[in-house]
């Protein structure tokens, strides 16, 4: 019998290890680009295959999770993701790299649905919120992976060796955590709110789409924009690091915040802070304001994804299907970030193009009130404790 503590430690480890491989991959993309002599356009198309794989996988993951259970799906998909990571590192040609990226997206889509479903089930056992802290573990893992990869690159370690070693370590971790997961299918669902769940799912999908677009804009363009306003490469990289740091700090406090504010309150406050951060960045095109603006932007976005995944996982639907629906519908936002902002920037300016994520944050702010009325009550709250 797996104890709640064992399950929490195992889930935290899988969240952190997923972040670690993500950070490792982001840090080694320039080496992969150089190794295959890819143009920016061809690199963008290759990387898009990962998102396409995740979009394809999400509805399948929801179906499999409801049939097999999130525990079984995570036991299979986590080691498989580690194997695809090795294939990415060892791919000898561009076509094989593209295939590896696609299947990595598929497997990672399975992992995202199953590990978040497990975390929501564990929250029901705990009767308090813990999902945001686990997403904080993902952010910490991503920063650690990027730092280790940067050190490996500095020491002259090839990306082939770097990705293969990380893959082997993650495979061992994935096998080990499989023994300490919850039989989530037995989690009681009686306390879930059953009214308006269709409307709730629609609003969650809409907010998640704009939230992932905002995150993608920062990931893809924060360093580029900072360079655009005259910063050095080091300062530009530091801006993204600060964005990641404030996002991590916010997530580590997010579980307490959602108990105080509720789902709508967290989304409304986060969207307001993100709006202020991006407005500051765009209003004054300098290094200092880019640093301050993206720091606020990361803080504002920090708690939104875990809050939305939690609400989706608490909908009265078969296990995993709410999270799969939200992820599958929101993943395409990542595909839009590059061509939309890049296209607007080419036609006008990058500064003007960043008004798009600013507008996306405003849309989330506008939807937050409705979301607060239809979203399920977070674990650890009662109906009477919800903010009016």
288-325 confidence digits (pLDDT tens) = 999 999 999 999 999 999 999 999 988 888 878 889 99
Residue 148 sits in the same domain as residue 204: no
Residue 1 sits in the same domain as residue 128: yes
65-109 confidence digits (pLDDT tens) = 888 888 999 999 999 999 999 999 999 999 999 999 999 999 999
Around Cβ 180, how many Cβ atoms within 10 Å?
18
Is residue 191 predicted with pLDDT exceeding 60?
no
CATH code of the domain containing 79: 1.20.1250.20
Give pTM, 2 decimals.
Answer: 0.84
Structure tokens at 237: 């990289």
Share of the chain above pLDDT 90, in %: 45
d(CA 22, CA 16): 10
Contacts of residue 180, Cβ cutoff 8 Å, sequence gap at least 6: 2, 6, 7, 9, 10
Query: Whole domain around residue 301: which residue ranges?
Result: 195-379
Last residue of a domain, one of 182, 209, 224: 182
Contacts of residue 313, Cβ cutoff 8 Å, sequence gap at least 6: 116, 117, 119, 120, 121, 320, 322, 323
Contacts of residue 258, Cβ cutoff 8 Å, sequence gap at least 6: 129, 132, 265, 266, 303, 307, 310, 378
Residue 161 sits in the same domain as residue 200: no
* pLDDT greater at residue 122 or residue 187: 122
What total of structural domains would you count in the chain? Answer: 2
Contacts of residue 176, Cβ cutoff 8 Å, sequence gap at least 6: none
**Per-residue confidence band for 379, with pLDDT thresholds at 50, 70 and 90:** low
Share of the chain above pLDDT 70, in %: 93
Residue 284 sits in the same domain as residue 356: yes
Is residue 253 predicted with pLDDT exceeding 70?
yes
Structure tokens at 84: 């695809």
135-150 confidence digits (pLDDT tens) = 999 989 988 888 888 8
Residue 188 lies in a domain: no
């Amino acid at each position: 019998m797996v104890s709640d503590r064992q399950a929490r430690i195992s889930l935290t480890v899988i969240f952190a290890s997923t972040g670690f491989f993500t950070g490792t991959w982001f840090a080694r993309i320039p080496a992969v680009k150089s190794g295959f002599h890819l143009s920016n356009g061809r690199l963008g198309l290759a990387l898009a295959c990962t998102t396409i794989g995740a979009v394809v996988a999400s509805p399948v993951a929801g179906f499999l999770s409801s049939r097999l259970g999130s525990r079984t799906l995570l036991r299979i998909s986590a080691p498989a993701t580690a194997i695809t990571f090795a294939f990415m590192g060892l791919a000898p040609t561009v076509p094989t790299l593209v295939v590896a990226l696609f299947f990595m997206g598929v497997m990672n889509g399975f992992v995202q649905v199953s590990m978040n479903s497990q975390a929501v089930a564990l929250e029901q056992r705990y009767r308090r919120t813990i999902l945001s802290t686990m997403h904080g573990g993902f952010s910490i893992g991503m920063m650690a992976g990027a730092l280790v990869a940067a050190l490996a690159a500095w020491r002259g370690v090839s990306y082939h060796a770097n990705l293969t070693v990380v893959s082997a370590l993650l495979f061992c971790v994935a096998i080990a955590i499989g023994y300490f997961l919850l039989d989530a299918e037995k989690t009681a669902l009686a306390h879930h709110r059953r009214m308006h769940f269709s409307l709730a799912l629609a609003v969650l999908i809409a907010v998640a789409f704009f939230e992932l677009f905002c995150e993608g804009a920062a990931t893809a363009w924060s360093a580029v924009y900072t360079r655009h306003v005259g910063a050095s490469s080091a300062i530009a990289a530091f801006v993204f690091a600060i964005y990641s740091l404030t996002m991590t700090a916010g997530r580590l406090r997010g579980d307490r915040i959602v108990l105080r504010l509720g789902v709508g309150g967290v989304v409304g406050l986060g969207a307001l802070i993100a709006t202020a951060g991006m407005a500051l960045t765009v209003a004054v095109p300098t290094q200092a304001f880019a640093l301050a603006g993206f720091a606020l932007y990361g803080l504002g976005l920090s708690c939104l994804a875990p809050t939305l995944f939690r609400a989706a996982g608490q909908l009265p639907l078969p296990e995993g299907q709410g999270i799969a629906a939200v992820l599958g519908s929101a993943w395409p936002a990542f595909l839009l970030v590059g061509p939309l902002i890049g296209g607007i920037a080419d036609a006008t300016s990058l500064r003007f193009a960043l008004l798009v994520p600013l507008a996306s944050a405003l849309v989330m702010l506008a939807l937050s009130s409705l979301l607060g009325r239809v979203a399920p009550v977070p674990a650890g709250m009662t109906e009477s404790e919800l903010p009016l």
